[in-house]
């Protein structure tokens, strides 16, 4: 499969673009009060269709879902159309019937939890088995910049030719040689972080980037959809684990489950805590 470019639309003929924009406008106006409070909502067109056009939506998200559907058996929404109009991206896609895993998770019996976590483990393993094709560093599926609101200072990062270049940017370009002994005495953990970042890294792994229970749809004990692929891309091998562990405040219970379906990276988690301490996020 050829790697798409960041600006490549999908099935974006004149009539479908007009229809999507019209439907989005009408339905969003009906929900205007709720929409103003939560601009990240997806508009549900019918039981089978929805439109995503949030302030954070990019064409790369549509390409990520298509890439996953073509290279794995992971259940993702089918993309029918994706295009940009006046600085906003619209994605017309399948509405998957299911409920968020976060709904009622703590009340589920252990047998139900185990079945679901086993499926999630298989899903994360499939992601890691996807060969990176022409990507050697950190980038989204199109080879463009990665998006993550949790990264400091800006939402779009890169792309980066190597994982080392990505790590250096996360430290705002700082190297351990930039600090004297006195300064380092007041920066506990920073030398360890730099050493962790500088180690030789294997190839990047394709990463969803936000495997929270809010982005997993289920019917009964079956995982029927993984949604919200805006943070997806080729990332350091540990990134899926540390990004899943730093959960939405409404989703804190999910931290207890992460190690059961993603290979634990305790050192990476410790280093991410240090990075966030000195270089921040959100």
Q: Which pLDDT does position 31 carry in this prediction? A: 67
Of all helices (H) and strands (E), which one includes residue 245? helix 239-245
SS3 assignment, position 271: helix
Q: Go through 19-30 and write b for each residue having 16 or more CB atoms within 10 A of its CB, e for each that does not.
A: ebbebbeeebee
For residue range 98-134, what is the model confidence (pLDDT) as tens digits?
A: 999 999 999 999 999 999 999 999 999 999 999 877 7
Positive or negative, the CA dihedral 98, 102, 106, 111 is positive
Which is it for strands 233-235 and 205-207: parallel, antiparallel or unpaired?
antiparallel
- The pLDDT confidence band at residue 270, using thresholds 50, 70 and 90, is very high
CATH architecture label of 99-279: Alpha-Beta Complex (3.90)
pTM of the model: 0.92
Q: What are phi and psi of 108, to 5 degrees?
A: -65, 145
CB distance 247 to 165 below 8 Å:
no
Contacting residues for 20 by C-beta, under 8 A, at least 6 apart: 51, 81, 83, 90, 92
Q: Go through 79-96 and write b for each residue having 16 or more CB atoms within 10 A of its CB, e for each that does not.
A: bbbbbeeeeebbbbbebb
Q: Determine the Cα–Cα distance for residues 13 and 134; give it in Å rounded to an integer.
A: 29
**Segments making up each domain of the chain, as ranges:** 14-94, 99-279
Q: Which pLDDT does position 49 carry in this prediction? A: 97
Q: Which pLDDT does position 248 carry in this prediction? A: 79
Establish whether the linkage from the previous residue to 159 is cis, with ω within 30° of 0: yes
Arithmetic mean of pLDDT, 195-199: 97
Q: Residue 261: pLDDT above 50?
A: yes
Q: Which pLDDT does position 4 carry in this prediction? A: 59
For residue range 19-28, what is the model confidence (pLDDT) as tens digits?
A: 999 999 999 8
Find out if CATH 3.30.200 is the number for domain 14-94. yes
SS3 assignment, position 48: coil
The vertex-249 CA angle with 247 and 253, nearest 5°, equals: 65
Residue 268: both structure tokens together = 């990476």
- The pLDDT confidence band at residue 38, using thresholds 50, 70 and 90, is very low
Q: How far is CA 226 from CA 23, 32, 40, 150, in A?
A: 25, 27, 17, 20
Arithmetic mean of pLDDT, 75-102: 97
Window from 60-69, 221-230, 246-255, 265-274 with minimum mean pLDDT: 246-255
């Amino acid at each position: 499969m050829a790697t798409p470019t960041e600006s490549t639309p999908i099935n974006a003929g004149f009539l479908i673009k007009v229809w999507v924009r019209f439907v989005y406008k009408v339905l969003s106006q009906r929900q205007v009060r709720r929409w103003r409070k939560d601009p990240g909502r997806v508009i549900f067109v019918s039981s089978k269709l929805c439109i995503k056009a949030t302030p954070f939506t990019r064409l790369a998200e549509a390409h990520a879902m298509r890439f996953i559907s073509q290279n794995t058996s992971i259940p993702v929404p089918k993309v029918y159309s994706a295009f940009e109009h006046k600085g906003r991206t619209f994605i017309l896609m399948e509405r998957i019937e299911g409920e968020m895993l976060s709904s009622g998770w703590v009340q589920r019996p252990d047998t139900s939890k185990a079945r679901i976590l086993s499926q999630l483990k298989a899903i994360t393993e499939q992601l890691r088995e996807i060969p990176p094709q022409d990507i050697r560093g950190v980038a989204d599926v199109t080879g463009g910049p990665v998006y993550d609101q949790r990264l400091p200072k800006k939402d779009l990062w890169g792309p980066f030719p190597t994982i080392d270049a990505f790590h250096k940017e996360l430290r705002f370009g700082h190297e351990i040689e930039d600090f004297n002994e006195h300064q380092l005495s007041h920066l506990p953990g920073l030398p360890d972080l730099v050493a962790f970042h500088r180690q030789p890294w294997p190839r990047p792994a394709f990463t969803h980037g936000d495997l929270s229970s809010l982005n997993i749809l289920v019917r009964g004990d079956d995982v029927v959809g993984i949604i919200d692929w805006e943070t997806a891309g080729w990332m350091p091998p540990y990134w899926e684990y540390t990004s899943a562990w730093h959960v939405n405040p409404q989703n804190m219970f999910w931290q207890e489950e992460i190690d059961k379906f993603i290979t634990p990276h305790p050192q990476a988690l410790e280093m991410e805590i240090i990075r966030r301490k000195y270089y921040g996020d959100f």
